[in-house]
Each structure stands twice: as C-alpha cells, then as structure tokens.
Amino acid sequence: MIDAVIFDKDGTLFDFRASWGGWTKRLLEELAGGDAQVLTALAGAARFDLATLDFAADSPIIANPMPEIAEALGQHLPGQSLDEIMERMNAVSMVAPQTPAVDLPAVLGALKARGLVLGLATNDTEAPARQHLADAGVLELFDFVAGCDSGWGGKPAPGQLLAFVAQGGFSPDRVAMVGDSLHDLDAGRAAGMHAVAVLTGIATADDLAPHADVVLRDIGGLAAWIDGLNRV
C-alpha cells in the first residue's frame, strides 16, 4: 500500500525544458552584465545552449541544489559573491513562468482525493517552489514543501524525504518518491521509499530504469501504478 507521495518539482510537476530554458538564458545574461565572453563562459559552466535553450544531460542546472549551481557559475564571476549570485537566481526563479507537465490540479487533486498525503522535495529554494505551486493552483494540496534551504539539505541525500516521513509518521516503504533525475531516485532509495521515474525532464528511460521501480511517461500514470502495486 502507498500512503503518501513526495514529488520532485522541476522536470516532474513542471516540464523541465519548457520551464527552465528561458529562465537559464535570462539568468546567465543578467549575471554576465553584457559581457559576451563571460556569457559564453557561464553557458559552458551551465552546460546550456544559448541558441536552442537546451541542456546537456550533465548540466548542473538539471538536478543540483541551488548553492552548487551558484558555485559552478561563480567560477566565472570573480566580482560577485555566492550570496549575490544566489540572490539573483532566486529573484529570477520567483518570476520564471512554469509549464505544467500535466493538468496538475486534476492529477494531484485526484491523488489527494484517494487519501494520499502529498509532499514536495526540490533542490530549488523553498520560496520560489511555493510560488510555483501557488501559481499552478496546487499549493494547498501539499502537506509538506521542502527546498534545499529548508534545513534538511538537498538531493541525492535523503534529508528532505526523511523529514516528510517524520512529519507524517509514515513507514518509508509505504511512500513513493517521484522524480525525473537520478538525484531524485537515489534520494528515494536512500530513504527506503519506492522510486518512481518520469520522463518530463532531461533524462531518458534508459538512464532512469536501472534506478527505479517503474518509469512513467508523466505523473498522470501514477494512480494506475499505485493501483497495480496495491493489488499485489
């Protein structure tokens, strides 16, 4: 039986490429301050194509916590502190338009109606995460929202997930962690949870399958998977 589900945000609830390509371009341009050479260096550090707005599979933007992204970019911004870079990242993130991967109110509302407790564990910071959920009309469906700055660290460490379990009094083996990256799946395994992969991020099914109980096209398939699991 599954009692609760904890979701990643970017690439799971929201389509990664559609949501974060424009954000990354705007962020890098703002940080570069009009210096084309610095912009090129930042794009290289981000493993990001400024022309196509696409990400290499190993881009730190995809799954790393915000402080690690800031550190990678900061190597090319000697005049800016990591705190300044983080502040700029958070400001741009707060207003970044998000493209839902599915009809979030319908899909998440149906899961909530089943009696499932819903949580969010993201390597984004907490304030933008809450804003993105609110903008999508689903913040009230979540009983737990944790960012990399919420006090439990970031993924792939399991701190956020274990905090969710502790808050809800769940048995980890009755919780599903749903995400689009190895960071998500590894965190789920480390927390003793089921690991569910979705293909609305950058990683492929071949990348994710060895680390997951199941690979779904998107979170719209989660209810059917839970039904099948509960029948076993």
Statement: residue 232 has pLDDT above 70: no
pLDDT at 150: 97
Statement: residue 231 has pLDDT above 80: no
pLDDT at 14: 96
pLDDT at 17: 87
What whole-number distance in Å separates Cα of residue 32 and Cα of residue 169?
Answer: 46
pTM: 0.87
Annotated domain spans of the chain: 4-15+98-231, 17-94
Burial letters for 192-220: b for 16+ Cβ neighbours within 10 Å, e otherwise? bbbbbbbbbbbbeeebbeebbbbbbebbb
Which of the 8 DSSP states describes residue 185?
H
pLDDT digits over 6-64, tens only?
999 999 999 988 888 888 999 999 999 999 999 999 999 999 999 999 999 899 998 88
Statement: residue 104 has pLDDT above 80: yes
pLDDT at 22: 87
Domain 4-15+98-231 class, CATH top level: alpha beta
pLDDT at 120: 98
Query: Which residues, 6 or more positions from 73, have their beta carbon under 8 angstroms from its beta carbon?
Result: 28, 31, 42, 45, 46, 85
Least confident of 14-18, 35-39, 135-139, 140-144: 14-18
